[in-house]
Structure 1
Amino acid sequence: MVLVHGYLGGSEQWAAEMEQFSDRFHVIAPTLPGFGTAAGEAGYSRIEEMANHIIALLDRLHVDDFVLLGHSMGGMIAQSIAAMVGDRVRKLILYGTGPLGVMPDRFEPIEASRERLGRDGVDQTIEQIGSTWFCRGSEAPEFALVKRIGASASRSAALSALDAMSVWDGRTALKTMEMPTLIVWGDHDRSYRWPQIETLWTSLPNALLSVIPGTAHAAHLEKPKLFHAILEDFLSN
C-alpha cells in the first residue's frame, strides 16, 4: 500500500493508517522531496516529475503491484501514476483531490498562496492554509500536527509545487484508468469543491464515491475511525 501526501504534507500524517493497515500490507509512505523530513532535497515543479519519483522508488523496492492512495496534491500524483503504470495499480484511492490542479473555487486562488509564501514564508502559509483543512480550523486538535509538518518544507519546494499544480490537468487520462477506484471526500472540503469530485466520479470507468460528513480536507485526521472503515470496506471487496 502506497500513501502519497499532499501539499505541505509528509509521511508523518499517515501514522494511523500505517498502523491500521500494516497487518495486511507493506505500507510505504514516502515524503516528497522538499517537504517534511525530506526538506533538504530539491523539489519538483511538475506533477509528472513527482509521479516519476514515486515510481522510481517503487522500482528500487521491487514493488510490482500495489494499492495506491493519494491525498490532495498527492491525489494528482496518484492519478499520474495510474495513467503511467496503471497495470501495476491494484486499487486506487483518490482522497480529497480532483482532476484539475488549479482547483476552481478553492478557498483562495493558487496565486494568492504563492504571494503569501513569497511574502511571509512557509510558517505563515501553513498557518493559513492548514486551518482550512479542518471544520474547526486552527482549533482542531490535529491542526498542530499539520502545522508542524508543513512548516518544515523548504520555500523553494513549496513554490515549485504550486507551479506544478497550476499547470496540471488530468482529465483526459481519467477514461483510461480502469482499476477499481474509491473517491473519498469531506463534505466541507474548501480546497476541492463538489464539481471536481463529480468529474472524477462520472469520468472514471470503475469508481465508487464515499462522502464523509462533518469533515473538511483532512478527514483522515478528523474522523479516522470512519475513514478507516470506508477504506477497509473498499479493500475487502
Structure 2
Amino acid sequence: MPQLEVDGATLTYDDEGPRDGDGVPLVFIHGWTANRHRWDHQVAHFSGERRVIRLDLRGHGESSGAGVRTIEELARDVLALLDHLKVDRFIPVGHSMGGMISQTLALSHPERVERMVLVNSISRMTYNKGRGLLMAASARVPFKLFVAANIQRAFAPGYPRERIQEYIRASGTTPREVVMTLYGAMRAFDVLDRVPEITAPTLLIHGYHDIQLPVSQMLRMAKAYPDAVVRIIDAGHELPVEKPAELTRALEGFLTTKA
C-alpha cells in the first residue's frame, strides 16, 4: 500500500497495471466522503491492459490530512502524486467531487489531459429545494445524521439497504472538518463558463435517478463541452457501485473510440 507525503497529508494510492500497456494511464478520482475502492470494478478490469492509478484524497479513506479548502487544492494533490509517479499525460475519471477535480485539472493543465470522464458530476453547483433544505439543516443536526442523510439519498430506489448502510459507515469515518469544508468547496465550485476551453474528448456519464446532481444540470453542462459524449444509465448518484459493469462497459467503449 504505497503512500506519498504531500503538504502535510499522507496520500494512500494504488498504481497497477503494465507500464508499457495500451494507452495513457487512467487516474480514478473518488467523490466526497468516499474512497478509492469505489473504483474496484473498473480497476480490476482495466489494470490488465493499461496503467491504472487511484488514490484516497486527503482526509478520506486511508489518507490523512486536513486543512484543504478548495477543489483546486485537491487537484494539486493529484498532480503531486502524478509528478511523483512520473506520469505526464493521463485520463482523469472523476466521480461527483472527483469530476470537479478532473475539470480543474483539464483547465489548469490541458496539455496533460488526453481525455476525460465525468461520472455523476457537474460544472456548477445548483441546488433543488430538497438539497437546499438539507444544506440549511446541516448546521443544526448531528454530524453523523447529516452524513447519513446525504449518503442515503445518493442511491436509486431499490438499492439494497444493507449495502447503503455499509457506505454510510465508511463515509462516517471521514473527519468532520474535511466533510464540512469540502461540502462548502463543492457549493462554491463553478467552472461552467470555462467549459468551452476544455477541448479534450469527454464522456459525461450520469445516473438517471441522481437527485444529488440531477441529470438536467449535467445536460446543461454538456451543451457547453466542445467534444462530449453523453450516456445516461438507470442508476442514482453512486453509479460506480450501483451499476459497476455498465459503467465499465461505457468507459471501455469511450476509450476505444478514436478521437
Aligned pairs for 1:38-57 (under 5 A) are 38=63, 40-57=64-81
Q: Does 1:24 align with 2:49?
A: yes
Larger radius of gyration: 2
> Could you tell me how far apart the structure 2 residues matched to 1:179 and 1:26 are?
20
Q: What's 1:112 paired with? A: 134
**Contact 1:96–1:217 (8 Å) recurs in 2:** yes
Percent identity over the alignment is 27
* 1:69 counterpart SS class: strand
Change in 2 beyond 3 A, CA 1:236/1:141: farther
Structure 1's unaligned 5+ residue stretches are none
Q: Which amino acid aligns with 2:172?
A: A
Moved more, 78-87 or 216-225: 216-225
Q: What's 2:170 paired with? A: 149
Moved more, 222-231 or 140-149: 140-149
Structure having the larger proportion of residues in helix: 1
Aligned pairs for 1:30-109 (under 5 A) are 30-38=55-63, 40-101=64-125, 103-105=126-128, 107-109=130-132
Change in 2 beyond 3 A, CA 1:51/1:119: same
1:11-67 alpha-carbon deviations (Å, 9 max, x no partner): 1211111111111222111111112222x3114111111111111111111110111
Change in 2 beyond 3 A, CA 1:208/1:171: same
Aligned pairs for 1:145-184 (under 5 A) are 145-184=166-205
Q: What's 2:33 paired with? A: 8
1:119 deviates by: 3.6
RMSD: 1.9
Q: What's 1:225 paired with? A: 245
1:199 deviates by: 2.1
Give the TM-score taking structure 1 as reference length. Answer: 0.91
Change in 2 beyond 3 A, CA 1:181/1:87: same
**Contact 2:155–2:236 (8 Å) recurs in 1:** yes
> Could you tell me how far apart the structure 2 residues matched to 1:84 and 1:25 are?
25
Give the TM-score taking structure 2 as reference length. Answer: 0.83
Change in 2 beyond 3 A, CA 1:190/1:9: same
* 2:94 counterpart SS class: strand
Structure 1 runs of 4+ with >4 Å offset: none
Q: What's 2:19 paired with? A: none
Q: What's 2:8 paired with? A: none
Q: Which amino acid aligns with 2:104?
A: S
Whose relative contact order is higher, 1 or 2, with alpha carbons under 8 Å and at least 6 apart?
1
* 1:143 counterpart SS class: helix
> Could you tell me how far apart the structure 2 residues matched to 1:174 and 1:51 are?
17
1:134 deviates by: 1.3
> Could you tell me how far apart the structure 2 residues matched to 1:35 and 1:159 are?
13
1:73 deviates by: 1.0
Q: What's 2:9 paired with? A: none
Structure having the larger proportion of residues in strand: 2
1:170-218 alpha-carbon deviations (Å, 9 max, x no partner): 11221111011000011100011133211221101100000002x1101
> Could you tell me how far apart the structure 2 residues matched to 1:229 and 1:107 are?
32
* 2:252 counterpart SS class: helix
Q: Which amino acid aligns with 2:35?
A: G
**Contact 1:114–1:162 (8 Å) recurs in 2:** no
> Could you tell me how far apart the structure 1 residues matched to 2:157 and 2:55 are?
28
**Contact 1:72–1:96 (8 Å) recurs in 2:** yes
Q: What's 1:210 paired with? A: 231
Q: What's 1:128 paired with? A: 149
Change in 2 beyond 3 A, CA 1:147/1:29: same
